[in-house]
Amino acid sequence: MRIEEFLPDVQKVLAEEGEPAYRLKQAYKALSVSLIRDWEESTALPKRLRTALSREAPAATLELLRVSQATDGTRKYLFETRDGHRIETVMIPEKERRTVCISTQVGCPMACKFCATGLLGIKRNLKAREIAEQVFVVARDIFPDRVSNVVVMGMGEPFLNYRETLLALKTLNDPQGFNLAARHIAASTSGLVDRIRRFADEPEQFHLAISLHNPFEDERRKLMPVASRHSIPELMSAARYYVETTRRKLFFEYTLLAGVNDQPRHAEALAELLDHPLYFLNLLRFNWTDTGFEATSKRDAKEFLHHARKLGLSATLRPSRGEDIDAACGQLAAKDLRGRPTIPASR
């Protein structure tokens, strides 16, 4: 973990101020361990340095505008970046777990037909510090409870912002920093096969989820434009590479859409496709967005799960959380993004 890559603006200030090298580690721990939001909170740093940092490299790169709480306890955080864009983050409480769902881009370029974020297009990638800071803010907010898991399933396609996303995850995993176990961190992709292979080769033991949503090529292309770039055979080849390289379980995300991908033939095709003991199917009923789709009924969703399990699939039906505050999967879309000019995502 190279702290100077995570905090380049802080490193620049320290160099300009002629500060010793150990100050960078002090600043890093202040942010990732003490979870400060203002350098004045870090009394280990000299007053003169705190003033310089506050002026040139503020401790908070995101302004927290609002926290909304759903009836089930789910919290949604609305942030504004320094350049005026808005992103959303979600904290999901469940028994002993506190899972934080984070964003990696402002908007999303993947344009999945049932996803509210996909309607926005892409504005820009988030920096590693902006990605990790979402977790820091939530951790500070829910203290003395602790963040137990992080899932990179918020706004954006993480693998189109690969370098910054991975740097953020390494920061969250760093034993000298936030110290969250790698196996409690999971990234999700819509199916970028080259990045799936690259992720498999990373030394950290992060988990991976792949958005599948339909086992039939032509039907998947109608739901997910990325399917026109990478066929299902290409995707499954990358999936096989991942499990054979890492020996870790691989999750496939599948949103049930009424009359679209919830028929017995879909379950049967999934059983043929997900033919590895390390593959696991996560089913989720569609959460309402203004996209024209409807959710599979609870009864039909349970029948689909039952049929899938009878066919030998390892599968579960995940409950939706935070629907009443638009915090559930596929619902994140800071409304101010609509209509603003888009910026092509760098890779």
Average model confidence (pLDDT) for the chain?
Answer: 91
Q: Does the annotation count 329 as an active-site position?
A: yes
> How many domains does the chain contain in total?
2
With a pLDDT cut of 90, the percent of the chain lying above it is 81
Residue 273: half-sphere exposure toward Cβ, Cα within 13 Å = 24
Residue 196: pLDDT over 90 = yes
Out of 13, 29, 59, a domain closes at 59
For residues 92 and 46, state if they share a domain.
Answer: no
Catalytic position from the list 19, 88, 157, 164: 88
Q: Which of 332, 271, 331, 250 is nearest to 295 (CA)?
A: 331
| pLDDT at residue number 338 | 43
CATH number of the domain that residue 43 is part of: 1.10.150
Which has more confidence, 164 or 2?
164
CATH number of the domain that residue 198 is part of: 3.20.20.70
| Percent of the chain as helix, strand, coil, to the nearest 5 | 40, 20, 40
Region for 292 from its dihedrals, namely left if φ exceeds 0, alpha if ψ lies in -120 to 50, beta otherwise = left
pLDDT bucket at 337, cuts 50 / 70 / 90: very low
For residues 8 and 106, state if they share a domain.
Answer: no
Q: Which of 253, 292, 258 is nearest to 116 (CA)?
A: 292
For residues 89 and 165, state if they share a domain.
Answer: yes
For residues 3 and 70, state if they share a domain.
Answer: no
Q: Which of 181, 209, 273, 200 is nearest to 243 (CA)?
A: 200
Residue at 208: amino acid letter: L
**Residue 342 is assigned to a structural domain of this protein:** no
Owning domain of residue 107: 62-337
How do residues 236-280 score in pLDDT, each as one tens digit? 999 999 999 999 999 999 999 999 999 999 999 999 999 999 999
Which letter does DSSP use for residue 34 in this model?
S
Window from 68-72, 135-139, 287-291, 314-318 with minimum mean pLDDT: 287-291
Residue 1: pLDDT over 90 = no
For residues 223 and 290, state if they share a domain.
Answer: yes
For residues 253 and 322, state if they share a domain.
Answer: yes
Q: Does the annotation count 108 as an active-site position?
A: no
pTM over cut 0.85: yes
Residue 288: half-sphere exposure toward Cβ, Cα within 13 Å = 6
Q: Which of 112, 157, 154, 153 is nearest to 291 (CA)?
A: 112
Q: What is the mean pLDDT of residues 87-113?
A: 93
